[in-house]
Structure 1
Amino acid sequence: MKRRRPLRTVLITLAAVVVLGAAAVGFYAFVGNHWFVRSVDEGDIGVYRGINASIVGLDLYRLDTATDLAYTDLTQAARSRVGSGIEADDRADAERILENLRQQLLPLCRTTEASATTSASPSPTTSAPTTTDPGATGTPALPTTSSAPSTTAQTSTSTRTQEPGVDCREAG
């Protein structure tokens, strides 16, 4: 007959639990010492603590600090970097990365865009008197009013589309 050793089974189980617990604590410490800057779902950009990965649907990171930077306000080059996540050495490095991103914002969109327009509506013009009437007693001639069309052409040489998120950002 086989002899039961309950103490040995308990010690092996306890050792396995201790090893798994130590591995979990070590993994948690490893993950907690990593930082990155990223935009989730092309929304606001944030500073994250952890590893930029997921295992079986479990994220290995958490949001540490939310920012006021919007993904769509960045230049295309900055968007491609932020979309995949920018690794940082520590919290201070993450702040440096955010400052660099603030330097890569799109310009503000213009509220009124000058386009090629022509104004051909008649506008009255007044000419000032320059001479006196020779037949009069030294009184100046009255100003005359003419209705000549005034044409003003303004052209815009901008090649930008002025679409928010494409080549400019909205104020605010």
Structure 2
Amino acid sequence: MNDQSIYRFSVQKLNGEEVNLSNYKNKVLLIVNTASQCGFTPQLKDLETLRNEFAGQDLEILAFPSNDFGKQEPLESCSIGKFCSINFGTHFPVFEKTKVKGADAHPLFKFLSSKKENGHVGVAPIWNFHKYLIDRNGHVVDFFYPFTKPTSARLKRRIGQLLESREVMMAL
């Protein structure tokens, strides 16, 4: 398997079930660190709008709640999922609360933040709702700062380009 792919990582759902990111092979992914008590929290609705706009086109949005910035994620496990779905109508996967920066960051976020590891992007999340764009081969290809709305023309154009690219490398 390609060493610069996210497919070597596993993450946990809110119910504790482990999910290997290889389950998302051949999909374009938008990985976002979220928080329920942040000024950017309304982006959860925008993420759902984006999901709906690209429905049926192999885009998956993966949300990772984090308490790393301003302690703005006080909720735990199922309460996070309920908050997202009740208040913002979300239907995309929300995973366990995750450390996204520093020495204790989850290995996935260390990878996403390190150009040495992922080969392309060398930017750690600066706040909640930092977004990483992953191509169909599991490679980090771009990132978007928290102030970039999920429904922005720039982000949607980039997603569209990746969805149009049907070129998928076969894992050996």
TM-score range, shorter chain: under 0.3
Greater fraction strand: 1
Alignment TM-score, normalising by the size of structure 2 = 0.24
Q: Which of the pair has the greater relative contact order for Cα pairs under 8 Å at 6+ separation?
A: 2
Of structures 1 and 2, the larger Rg is shown by 1
